[in-house]
Chain A
Amino acid sequence: MTEPLLRIEDLHVTFSTRSGPVEAVRGVTLSVAPGEMLGLVGESGSGKSVTGFATTRLLDPAGRVSSGRILYRGQDITKIPDGDFRALHGAAMSMIFQNPRAALNPIRSVGLQIADAILSHKRMSKQAAADEALKLLRAVQIRDPEKRMSAYPHELSGGMCQRVMIAVAISCNPMLLIADEPTTGLDVTTQKVVMDLLAGIAAARGMATILITHDLGLAAQYCARVVVMEKGRLVEEAPPARLFHHPQHAYTKRLVAASPTASSRIEDLVTDEERGQYLAVLAACKPQPEPPAGTPPLLDVRNLAKRYDQGAPAVSNFSMTMKAGESVGLVGESGSGKTTTSRMICRLIDASEGEILFDGESIAHLPAREFHRSPHRKDIQIVFQDPNESLNPRFTAFDCIAHPLLRLSRMRPGDALRQRVEECAARVGLPIDLLSRFPHQLSGGQKARVGIARAIACRPRLLVLDEPTAALDVSVQAVVLQLLDRLRREDCLALLFVSHDLNVVRMMCDRTIVLRSGEIVEAGESRALFDNPQTEYTRELVEAVPQVDRCGFSVQS
């Protein structure tokens, strides 16, 4: 066994907060060998990022290493004074971050930013540093690197920014790279490209990498060893194949179950013990009677298009139908027009062209500004992506859920309203005593439930879900997905599911529509579409999804 490049021994990190010290990391021990890629997996609050930031000494000023040692090549780097640590930053270890665009200086050209990093460790002329930066841009496979040298971050796409960030991070040949959620927020195809690039560069340079991620599948695909963290503790460490097929720790079992894979079903998202409970609920639902022949579909969209002033249309020639109680997925990369389409269907924005029939009745002619007066406003409700941003911070959970009832169902404050709100809260599994809380006092999952309760308060028949679980941890996502599926079965609620997570859509939706640049590329029954994609684009999308089932291949090679 070679000597580890990095060894963390019994690390404790404490944050001083207004309500006293909080331990974010409680005794983590792990080691990284030279050239190895280690996955550090956990949900939010597990302390995985804090461990990374403690290693590179980039913790928030409120946090500090309270005990434990971090050995880099045998030297305890927690003892190094701040001033001397600068020599290590970038040259020995560097980081790449989530949200690459924010991680780059918005008013400095990317070429200069890379050159800054080089010049901070090497004595050379500015011109030489610029040449070096250009080489790095080539190394991270940016097209037209000469032109991109003078570009600003806002002129580049998210994936491009992350490549620039990688170039900055590797500019001084560090031995250790810590990647903190490097592809969260990027499209699956971009994620694949960036991760492949990162893995390739790390292998070529013999650079050890710690991949910090919430995505078990991603870690499994790229790492030889995965460490699972929960609440500041390390709970399990294993090669990915063993972790997936024979998880030991209870938390790992839950996490593995909750991570959707290509073959998982909704009832699989919980551990075996909890599954029975869910199946019982499903069994209790009676199958919905088939509507009599000749009834129009619940939703019939014909040749919908949206044009903004300039450039290509955001959406063009979009047609689809939905039956009551059906679930349809709308997938595509960012900019494919899926959100625009969903906003047009729930009549938050006006279509430039086309027809939307709800229950056989046209609703497209009414301007979006006036649609709140339409009786169909109640029938079509929406659940937004970010549960934090989509709740009024000055409204309690009760007010949030009661708001549509007051406005759309014309209920008056009183016992009836309270009863209905509590009923909705119960439906989504939100404890009644949480109703008096404000959004900032609720967890992410609880906020998501408030958002769903609000959407179902007026008994809609079509629910449009815009990335409803994108901001949630997988274990919370599992519960929310099961909840949505149950609502669909019990209330015969139709779900239009907008998502970039193909595994989720495959599991949740009967049918799937694939969008690209505002046009339908492919549509059909979900399983068939994913198992046997007909177009090149869909195939690329499907293949880009990290698959646990495929793990081990890239590791062994």
Chain B
Amino acid sequence: MSSLPALFGVLVFTFLLMRVLPGDPAVFFASGPNAGKEEIEVIRKQMGLDKPIPEQLLRYLYDVGRGNLGKSLMTGQSVTTDLRERLPASLELTLTALFIAMLSAIPLGVIAALRPGSIVDHGVRLLCALGVCVPTFVSGLLLIYVFYYLLGLAPDPTGRIDVFTSLPPSRTGFLTIDFLLAGDLDGWWVAVRQLILPALTMALFVIAPLARITRASMLVSLGSDFVRTARSVGLSWWRVVVTYALRNAILPVITIAGIVFSTMLGANVLVEKVYSWPGVASYALDALLSSDYAPVQGFVLLMASIFVVVNLMVDVLYGIADPRVSI
């Protein structure tokens, strides 16, 4: 509940920002470059753009309050429908990427922390540096070049499934899950193959912060008194490192993972573009380029809400992982 004012602020801010940005949607959406002044004026009136800005804002807030995010001029559909269609694609991609990233970052961080200053530690550091400094569109194209063009292992990077496969009945919106629910293993494999490369591209970029925070927090944990206690009574290596050190070290990693997830969801528009992934980020970018107000505002509101939800989930997870925290 305490996040409602923040959401409201985001709402108003984006609204004003969109109005300040140059570009007139009415001009853009008039039938052609040679549309007359009157025609533009009519469109403007239809869109309510002739009203003073405070009134526009009030109307907008009223609509949002009733769950109506407006209509996209690009697709001609309501923004809510558009977002609902595209959000699962983005979520599926981001969650997979985060999963891959965590799965590689945590062991890397742990290995680096076990032998600080060793070759392994430096190797992990180099890997992280590479992951961060290569932009996603470069690493994305590189992966496509190697795995699709050279090796032919990956399918062509054109969206979530190839043209020959028919879509499963939509239940969750997550194609991999929908295929499984429909019992279509061939379709599932197609979807997974499409998913792997973009997810990997995204993951490469966020392995670095996750691995670094794991390493730092593992170092603190391994140097702590309770790990010394665990060693002093002769617990096994696995017990000491995993049950005692890692479980304590994982707490800050959860926080960072939450932040990383929210960032990935919105900011990886480049990955979606490179792989023609029909996600929300590329949708918002297209809308922004064509001065289509409603989708951009809807997108920002969606991102803010997801950010709030993710943070709430992180808090809940924290409460489960750490008995000292009560929510």
Contacts and interface: CB of A to CB of B under 8 A. Distances in A.
Interface of A: 56, 58, 86-91, 94-95, 97, 99, 102-108, 116-117, 120-121, 152, 154, 165, 168-169, 171-172
Given A102-B224, A102-B226, A107-B321, A56 B234 contact: no
B248 interface: yes
A90 B236 CA distance: 12
A168 B244 CA distance: 15
A224 to B, nearest CB: 25
Interface residues of B, number: 21
Contacts of A105: 226, 229-230, 244, 248
A117 B235 CA distance: 6
A116 B234 contact: no
A168 B231 CA distance: 12
B224 A56 contact: no
B233 A89 contact: yes
Interface in B277-327: 321-324
A94 B232 contact: yes
A103 B226 contact: yes
27 contacts: A58-B231, A87-B234, A89-B234, A91-B234, A94-B232, A94-B233, A95-B232, A99-B225, A102-B224, A102-B226, A103-B225, A103-B226, A104-B226, A106-B226, A106-B323, A106-B324, A107-B247, A108-B243, A108-B247, A116-B233, A116-B235, A120-B234, A120-B239, A152-B324, A165-B229, A168-B233, A172-B233
Contact of B239 (A94, A116, A154): A116
Contacts of A108: 243-244, 247
Given A106-B248, A106-B324, A86 B229 contact: no
A179 to B, nearest CB: 12
Interface in B235-269: 235-236, 239, 243-244, 247-248
B228 interface: yes
Given A88-B234, A169-B233, 12 more contacts: A56-B232, A89-B232, A97-B229, A102-B224, A103-B226, A106-B323, A107-B248, A107-B322, A107-B324, A120-B236, A168-B229, A172-B234
SS class of chain A's interface: helix, strand, loop or mixed? loop
A107 B323 contact: yes
Interface string B63-98: 000000000000000000000000000000000000
A236 to B, nearest CB: 29
Contacts of A172: 233-234
Interface in B183-242: 224-226, 228-236, 239
A116 B232 CA distance: 12
A116 B248 contact: no
Nearest to B234: A89
Contacts of A91: 234
Contacts of A107: 247-248, 321-324
B224 A116 contact: no
A547 B226 CA distance: 32
Most buried by B among A104, A120, A154, A169: A120
A116 B230 contact: yes
A90 B232 contact: yes
B228 to A, nearest CB: 6
Contacts of A97: 225, 228-229
A89 B322 contact: no
Contacts of A103: 225-226, 228-229
Contacts of A121: 234
B222 to A, nearest CB: 10
Given A102-B226, A103-B226, A116-B243, A152 B233 contact: no
A58 B239 CA distance: 17
B233 A104 contact: no
B323 A58 contact: no
A88 B233 CA distance: 8
A89 B247 CA distance: 22
Contacts of B248: 105-107
Nearest to B322: A107
B324 A154 contact: yes
Contacts of A86: 234, 236
B234 A90 contact: yes
Contacts of A171: 233
Contacts of A58: 228, 231-232
Most buried by A among B232, B235, B243, B324: B232
Contacts of B324: 106-107, 152, 154
A372 B225 CA distance: 40
A56 B225 CA distance: 15
A542 B147 CA distance: 79
A95 B244 CA distance: 18
Contacts of A154: 323-324
A89 B239 contact: no
Most buried by A among B224, B235, B243: B235
A181 B247 CA distance: 28
A152 B239 CA distance: 18
B229 to A, nearest CB: 5
Nearest to A88: B234
A6 to B, nearest CB: 16
B238 to A, nearest CB: 11
A88 B243 CA distance: 21
Nearest to B232: A95
Nearest to A117: B233
A37 to B, nearest CB: 19
Nearest to B323: A152
A323 to B, nearest CB: 46
Nearest to B239: A116
B41 to A, nearest CB: 61
A106 B247 CA distance: 10
Contacts of B321: 107
Q: 7 tightest A-B contacts by CB?
A: A89-B234, A90-B233, A90-B234, A117-B233, A102-B225, A105-B226, A103-B225
Contacts of A106: 226, 248, 322-324
Nearest to A154: B324
B191 to A, nearest CB: 38
Given A107-B248, A107-B321, A152-B324, A120 B233 contact: yes
A91 B232 CA distance: 10
B323 to A, nearest CB: 5
Nearest to B227: A105
Nearest to A116: B235
A106 B249 CA distance: 11
Nearest to B223: A60
Contacts of B235: 116-117, 120
Nearest to B231: A58
Most buried by A among B224, B226, B231, B244: B226
A107 B224 CA distance: 13
A443 to B, nearest CB: 24
A90 B235 CA distance: 9
A407 to B, nearest CB: 37
A120 B229 CA distance: 13
A514 B226 CA distance: 35
A31 B161 CA distance: 75
Nearest to B235: A120
B135 to A, nearest CB: 38
Contacts of B225: 97, 99, 102-103
A84 to B, nearest CB: 11
A329 to B, nearest CB: 33
A117 B230 CA distance: 8
A256 B241 CA distance: 44
B253 to A, nearest CB: 14
B323 A104 contact: no
A325 B233 CA distance: 53
Most buried by A among B230, B231, B233, B236: B233
A154 B248 CA distance: 14
Contacts of A104: 226, 229
A171 B233 CA distance: 9
